[in-house]
Amino acid sequence: MNTNCMVSPKTDKIFREILGREGNEEIARGFLESVTGKKITKVDLRNNQLLGQLPAEEIHGLVDVVAEIEGKLHSFEICILDEQIFNGIQLNSNIIPWYGAYIYAKLAEKNVEQKRVTYVFLSAYNIEGIKQPEYHTSWALRSEEGETEILGYSLNFELIEMPKSQGKEEQEDTLLDWVYFLENPECERVKEKIWTNPALKSAYETYQRILEE
């Protein structure tokens, strides 16, 4: 592949190769710790073999990470949103929770073990209906009574609207380092931060290796 022509890490195949390939557990761990702010003690990427059995259009930019946090299993579904649609409708703030539940149901067909579930959506555009000015929004699906396990498992969402990260180059934020990597892995911020962030450095090196192949 011609390395002079930059291919985005957000590209479906490259994204899943970097974050979801077995052997890249430390990359997935570093990224998810920057999203959640929690210490992750164990990472398992084997569920991506199950995802690979689903139709390609259903796993576009989708990575499954089973992690252990404070001794409890937690499933993270990481998904890149570009022009992706759900049942013919572009994703928006109303559709996202149900899209997440749909993905989990598909995985549950292959693996019946229930876990705490968090969907990490990385959006290449600003999601309609999200009024929050910050690029990173967190929320959970709850009943009117405030129950957190209305579907039999806890369901949480982390939305990262990448366009809202623009103009924050001087802000110290590990998650921003990953966002800038996904937007432009050759930018100055990424080249500086890879020397202090081992997981980001591994992601950058994996990306370079993919280009060379």
Answer with the residue of higher pLDDT: 117 or 189. 189
Residue 198 lies in a domain: no
Long-range contacts of 163-170 (CB under 8 A, 24+ apart): 163/124, 163/125, 163/126, 163/135, 164/126, 164/133, 164/134, 164/135, 165/135, 168/135
pLDDT at 174: 94
pTM over 0.75: yes
Residue 197 lies in a domain: no
Q: Which residues contact 172 (CB under 8 A, 6 or more apart)?
A: none
**φ and ψ at 105, to 5 degrees?**
-60, -40
Q: How does the average pLDDT of the chain come out, rounded?
A: 79
pLDDT at 3: 37
The boundaries of the domain holding residue 135 are 12-147+156-165
Q: Which range, of 49-53, 103-107, 206-210, averages the lowest pLDDT?
A: 103-107
Q: How many domains does the chain have?
A: 1
Condensed to tens digits (0 to 9), the pLDDT of residues 28-72 reads 999 999 999 999 999 999 877 777 676 666 666 788 899 998 888
pLDDT above 70: percentage of residues in the chain? 70
Q: Which amino acid is at 114?
A: Q
Q: Is 122 exposed, middle or buried (0-12, 13-18, 19+ CB in 10 A)?
A: buried
Residue 177 lies in a domain: no
Residue 2 lies in a domain: no
Residue 82 lies in a domain: yes
Residue 35 lies in a domain: yes
Residue 184 lies in a domain: no
Structural contact between residues 41 and 20, judged by C-beta atoms closer than 8 angstroms? no
Residue in the block written with tokens 């890249």: 24
- The confidence band for 88, taking pLDDT boundaries of 50, 70 and 90, is very low
**φ and ψ at 125, to 5 degrees?**
-140, 165
Angstrom distance (rounded) from CA 125 to CA 134? 13
Angstrom distance (rounded) from CA 44 to CA 23? 9
Residue 37 lies in a domain: yes
